[in-house]
Amino acid sequence: MASMAVHIFFTFLLLLLCSSSRTVLSSATLQETHQINSNSVLVALLDSHYTELAELIEKAILLQTLEDAVGKHNITIFAPRNEALERDIDPEFKRFLLEPGNLKSLQTLLLYHIVPARVNLTSSSTHHHPTLSSDRVKISSHPKTGSRMIDSATVVQENAVDRPDGVIHGIERLLIPRSVQQDFNNRRSLRSISAVKPEGAPEVDPRTHRLKKPAAPVPAGAPPVLPIYDALAPGPSLAPAPAPGPGGPHKHFNGHKQVMDFIQTLVHYGGYNEMADILVNLTSLATEMGRLVSEGYVLTVLAPNDEAMAKLTTDQLSEPGAPEQIIYYHIIPEYQTEESMYNAVRRFGKVSYDTLRLPHKVVAQEADGSVKFGHGPDVSAYLFDPDIYTDGRISVQGIDGVLFPPEEEKTAAKVETKSVKVAALPPRRGKLLEVACRMLGAFGQHTRFTTCQ
C-alpha cells in the first residue's frame, strides 16, 4: 500500500509540472506575438514631433490597443500638428476630453485618427476608410488647391513617418467625429441647465426706502411665459416690439454659445457653408437666435445645403431684408427631430409648422420614405441630412432646397357702379289746387303762380 501511494504521488507531481511548463510556454508565445520592435510606427510616433498626440494616446490608455492593431496589420495615423492641439483647439472642448468621466469620448476621438490599413494618398479619387473607432473617414481632394483632405482637414505632410508596419500623415487640425461632438454639446447643455446662478444684492426702493420684493424665481428649464413672437425683435416681417424675456435677468441657458456651436457644427459637417455665412455675416439672426434660446425658447432650423443656396438668384436676395425673410421661413419655433417629424407625417399625412415669418407656415408630408417640405412640386425640399445638430434646445435638419411661402393671390374685386338716370316727374297737384288754377286761368292770372305753370 505504501509503494502504491508513493507511485500515485509521483504521477500527480509529474502531471503538475507538465501543465505549468505548458502555461509558461503559451504566455511566452503570447508576449512574443505582441512584442513591438524599435522600428515600429508606434515607437516613431512617440519619438516624433507629434508629441501632443502621443501624450493624448498615453492618457487615453490606448497603447495596448494600438500594439494589438500593429500586431495584426499595418496602420495609418493621421496626426494633427502640435499647434492644433495646443492653441487652435477650443479650451472648453479640451477640458471636456481630459475629464476622467469622458475617457470613452477621448478614446473614440483618437481612434478616429487611425485606419487599420496602409493608406496611400497619391491617388486623387475620393474614398472612405473604416477607422479603429468603427466610424469611416473621408479622403478627398480640395476642389481649388487640389491638396488632399482628411474629412475637412488638409494634409500638410504626406508620409511624415514611414515604417514597415505603418505610416503617419501630418494634418493641419484635429478630426472630431460626430458622436464626440454630439456628446460634448449634450454635456455642456446639461451643465448649463443644472448650474445654480448666484443672486445679486438686494435692491432698495428710493421712494419708500424699503427693500424691494424679489420677483418670483423662474425654475431652470421652465417654458417661457410669453409666446416667441412677442419676444422677437422687430424685423422686416415682424410687427411686435421687443418684449422683456420671460425670465428677466435669470437666464438659465447660454444661447449664444449654443448658436455658435450649431454654426460650427454646420461648417465641420460640410456642405452648409452658405447657410452659416448668412447667419453670421449677412444678418444679425445669430444674435437674435442666441437671445431667444437664452430666454428658454426652442428652435428647429431647416438648413438648405450649399447646392440649394447656389440656385438663389440675385433678384431673390437683392431686396432689403430678403435674406432675413428667407431664413425666418426656415426656423420653426418648436423642437423637432427627424424621428418626431417623420412620425407626425406618417400619422397625420400633412402637418403645418409655424415659422418665425408671420403668418406663413411650412407644410410637411411623407414622400419616398422621408419628409418633404413645401406647398407644391416646384417649391419643395426633402429632409436630406437628418439631425445635424440636436442639443435639446436647437435642432438643425439639413434639406436639399430653399423654401418659399406660397404667393398670396390678390384678386381685386372690381365693383362696377352703374349710373341710373331717373326721369324727373312733374309735381303732383291736388284737386283743390287744380280748380284754383283753372279759375285763375279764366282771368288770365295763372302765370303768377309757378305751381299752375
Instruction: Provide the CA 251 distance to its chain's centre, in angstroms.
Output: 22
Task: Give the model's pLDDT for residue 272.
Answer: 92
Burial degree of 74 (CB within 10 A; 0-12, 13-18, 19+): middle
Site of grid cell 508606434: 42
Instruction: Pull the grid cell for residue 23.
Output: 502555461
Would you say the CATH fold of 228-399 matches that of 41-177?
Answer: yes
* Angle, helices 51-59/103-111, rounded to nearest 10 degrees: 130
Burial degree of 244 (CB within 10 A; 0-12, 13-18, 19+): exposed
Task: Give the model's pLDDT for residue 392.
Answer: 85
Please give the model's pTM, rounded to 2 decimal places: 0.42
Please count the CA atoms within 13 angstroms of the CA of 279 that sit on its side-chain side.
26
Q: How far apart are CA 331 and CA 290, in angstroms?
A: 13
Instruction: Pull the grid cell for residue 85.
Output: 492641439
Task: Give the model's pLDDT for residue 416.
Answer: 38
**In the chain, where the domains are located:** 41-177, 228-399
The one-digit pLDDT tens for each residue of the chain (453 residues) are: 455 554 555 555 555 554 544 444 344 433 444 556 777 888 888 777 788 888 888 888 988 888 888 888 899 999 998 888 887 788 888 888 888 888 999 999 999 999 999 988 887 788 889 999 988 999 988 888 888 899 888 999 888 888 888 999 999 989 989 889 888 888 776 655 444 445 555 677 777 777 777 666 666 666 676 677 666 655 444 333 333 334 444 445 688 888 889 898 998 998 999 898 888 876 678 888 888 888 888 999 999 999 999 998 888 877 878 888 899 999 999 999 999 999 999 988 899 999 998 889 999 999 888 999 987 767 789 999 999 999 888 999 999 999 998 874 333 233 333 444 444 445 555 555 666 677 667 666 655 556 566
Domain 228-399 has CATH 2.30.180.10: yes
In order, the DSSP letters of 274-291 are HHHHIIIII-SHHHHHHH
CATH code linked to domain 41-177 = 2.30.180.10
